[in-house]
Amino acid sequence: MRVNGTAWRTIWPEDDGRAVGIIDQTRLPHAFETLRLTSMEAAAHAISAMLVRGAPLIGATAAWGVALAMAEDASDTGLERAYAVLVATRPTAINLRWALDTMKARLAPLSPAERPAAARAHAAAICDEDVALNEAIGSNGLEVIRSLYATKGGTGTFNILTHCNAGWLATVDWGTALAPIYKAHDAGLPIHVWVDETRPRNQGASLTAWELNSHGVPHTVIVDNAGGHYMQHGQVDMVIVGTDRTTAQGDVCNKIGTYLKALAAHDNNVPFYVALPGPTIDWTVNDGVKEIPIEERSQAEVTRLWGRTEDGALTWVTVTPKGSPAANPAFDVTPARLITGLITERGVCPASAEGLRGLYA
Ligand code: MRU
């Protein structure tokens, strides 16, 4: 995507893949800063500290982490160690394990001498594939939006609500939930996006709003609890979110609060779509609520807020009384029955085992 006229991806090779560039997402929207990762440990830190985040980008960064590891130690032990360190960075997004399994399957049969170059090529291919998948999701999602807009009569503003950030910053490029929104806007459809702020880390307020602002897509940031109100008042025509892990039955694990939006959408007959690429499907999990590990993050993300003061300084402020504990589950699971459809690179299907099998035989 373009930022101030320059085309960016969220991750790119430098020095022929001996280093990797990323956008430090912890600085947005206040500053657009890039960083250079030169070791597997730095890639692991970038994922766990959320300098990069979003399921597909976590996977892409892990793939490059393996490539950086192979430049230092391409032995079997080096490969195993890279896998073990990187897979432990964040527990919920399945793209992480998918990318690591893909890298391992391709590198393990090779000799150590062949691995560094092969690892760079495979990491680059995973990134290119992610871009292609997301663009296809965008095209398929655009048709869903067109059709819902036509059902609405084809006049007036079409209001889409999204939660968290499933835009280009969460992937290598395009995004998943935001790809159809970009395509609809570029096609001239009168889109307006309700952006859930997405406490506690504010990926909506900080990242989705920044993306939409940069692209000129009309949007409004709302507190996480406002979506139901707007649905009751007919001001949400559709919800589109991303996912960190989709089960074989079509349950969707995404940023905490997604489930409540799905319940509100169900109660108000608002179509609720989830956009995902194939690598986000975990075919080994059947019951999302019982089986998907939910990341529990630091209490400090709940008790404090991060932002810019009037005089431009970046700072934390505490919002809870001393002594009040906080809990911070980072994701929740939306059961398939609350989902209108899954928008994938292969087409749109019902959120069900049959629907997914129909596309991914
Ligand atoms: O904790 P994050 O910021 O990594 O969570 C991101 C999300 O929940 C996204 O909605 C999800 O990864 C889909 S990204 C295309």
Pick from 129, 163, 198: which residue ends a domain?
A: 129
- Report whether 90 belongs to an annotated binding site: yes
Point out the ligand 1 atom lying closest to the alpha carbon of residue 171: 15
Same domain, yes or no, for 273 and 218? yes
- Report whether 203 belongs to an annotated binding site: yes
Specify the pLDDT at position 312: 83
C-beta atoms surrounding 72 within 10 Å: 13
Pick from 96, 129, 162: which residue ends a domain?
A: 129
Same domain, yes or no, for 195 and 114? no
pLDDT digits (tens, 9 = 90+) for 153-170: 999 999 999 999 999 999
Specify the pLDDT at position 25: 97
137 within some domain: no
CA of 127 to the centre of ligand 1 (A): 17
Give the bridge partners for 317, in sequence order: 305
Same domain, yes or no, for 124 and 165? no
Distances (CA, A) of 4 to 1, 7, 8, 174: 10, 9, 10, 16
Catalytic residue among 244, 251, 282, 332: 244
345 within some domain: yes
Same domain, yes or no, for 56 and 178? no
Same domain, yes or no, for 105 and 219? no
pLDDT digits (tens, 9 = 90+) for 330-358: 999 999 999 999 999 999 999 999 999 99
CA of 163 to the centre of ligand 1 (A): 9
Which residue, by CA, sits nearest to atom 5 of ligand 1?
54
Specify the pLDDT at position 314: 86
Point out the ligand 1 atom lying closest to the alpha carbon of residue 93: 12
- Model confidence band, residue 310 (pLDDT cutoffs 50, 70, 90): confident
285 within some domain: yes
Q: How far apart are CA 269 and CA 264, in angstroms?
A: 9
Same domain, yes or no, for 200 and 52? no
* Predicted TM-score (pTM) of this structure: 0.97
For the record, the structure tokens of 185 come out as 């806007």
Domain range enclosing 310 = 153-359
Same domain, yes or no, for 94 and 183? no
Instruction: Look up the ipTM and state it.
Output: 0.98
Burial 209-241 (b: 16+ CB within 10 A, else e): bbbbebbebebebbebeebbebbeeeebbbbbb
Cβ < 6 A, ligand 1 pocket: 53-56, 93, 164, 166, 170-171, 175-176, 203, 242-244, 254-255, 330
CA of 331 to the centre of ligand 1 (A): 9
- Report whether 97 belongs to an annotated binding site: no
pLDDT digits (tens, 9 = 90+) for 47-82: 999 999 999 999 999 999 999 999 999 999 999 999
Q: Is 244 an active-site residue?
A: yes
Which residue, by CA, sits nearest to atom 6 of ligand 1?
54
Same domain, yes or no, for 157 and 306? yes
Domain count, the chain: 2
Same domain, yes or no, for 173 and 269? yes
Q: For residue 252, give the CATH number of its domain.
A: 3.40.50.10470
For the record, the structure tokens of 203 come out as 């990926």
Mutation test of ligand 1: which of 25, 94, 195, 243 has the most ligand atoms closer than 8 Å to its C-beta? 243
Same domain, yes or no, for 234 and 277? yes
Region of 196 please: left (phi>0), alpha (psi -120 to 50) or beta. beta
- Report whether 25 belongs to an annotated binding site: no
Q: How far apart are CA 361 and CA 348, in angstroms?
A: 14
Same domain, yes or no, for 245 and 295? yes
Distances (CA, A) of 61 to 51, 269, 286: 11, 38, 27
Same domain, yes or no, for 229 and 339? yes
DSSP state of 266: H
